Amino acid sequence: MRKNIVVAIDGPAGVGKSSVSFQVAKKLDIMLIDTGAMYRSVALRAFNSEISNNTPEILELAKNLNFSFKIENNKNIVFVNGEDVSALIRTENVSKLATDVAKNGDLRKILVEKQQKLAENSSVVMEGRDIGTVVFPNADVKIFLSATPEVKAQRRYKELKEKDPSVSFESILEAMVLRDKQDSERAESPLRKADDAVEIDTSDKTIDEVISNVLSVIETKIS
């Protein structure tokens, strides 16, 4: 594999994006940049500091955050200013706050610049919703993962049920449909498939099948 390739993996929540991106980065032995984790981290820090979205304060907060990622013990560890926030940013509350944060156009510009800088000196797999369209429109490989709303909600339900037995499938489905709508209709960097991206529907595929498909696309594109 030649040096410094960028693999963009986009798609909505619940399509297996995180799991697929992790395994692809691990197999290729390159960095995995979880852009969603960056927005979640801003949301978490803003919430803890009682800073509202769409304010100069949240922009200053974002500018002062340094992100790094490291695959360790079979996990992609997210560090913000040296602190491991991997678990803290995965709550439903932070997810909701991050959706609002992602609508802030000025904040997105700050994080996009940070994402681009992270990929300047090394090959990366970058996961998100606008990587192939906004962050790296000239990415070497663009993948767009999709799945039906019911399949996405069922996957998230299984994941959250272990942490919160009271969670309901119906509420998760409703929240996921709303989030997809918000992400697709937002004015700044909406969720959409890049024209030159390869779409893979994960609804009826195992995680191993999706990973294999993605690796095949990468091999074809960069060979």
Write the pLDDT tens digit of every residue in 103-116. Answer: 899 999 999 999 99
Q: What is the pLDDT of residue 3?
A: 66
| pLDDT of 2 strictly over 60 | no
- Nearest 5°: CA angle at 177, between 157 and 180? 110
- When the pLDDT of each residue in the chain is averaged and rounded to a whole number, the result is 92
- The two structure tokens encoding residue 222: 């960069």
Write the pLDDT tens digit of every residue in 165-200. Answer: 888 999 999 988 888 888 888 777 788 899 999 999
Gap between the Cα atoms of 71 and 57, Å rounded: 32
Write the pLDDT tens digit of every residue in 31-68. Answer: 999 998 999 999 999 999 999 998 999 999 999 999 99
Write the pLDDT tens digit of every residue in 131-174. Answer: 999 999 999 999 999 999 999 999 888 888 888 888 899 999 99
Q: What is the pLDDT of residue 84?
A: 97
Gap between the Cα atoms of 119 and 99, Å rounded: 24
Based on C-alpha coordinates, what's the Rg of the chain?
17
- Domain residue ranges of the chain, discontinuous segments joined by +: 6-218
Q: Helix (H, G, I), strand (E, B), or coil: what is residue 205? A: coil
C-alpha to C-alpha distances, 172 to 41, 92, 96, 184, 220, nearest whole angstrom: 22, 10, 12, 18, 37
Average pLDDT over residues 95-106: 90
Q: What is the pLDDT of residue 1?
A: 47
- The two structure tokens encoding residue 172: 């998760």
| Superfamily (CATH H level) for 6-218 | P-loop containing nucleotide triphosphate hydrolases (3.40.50.300)
DSSP letter assigned to residue 131: I
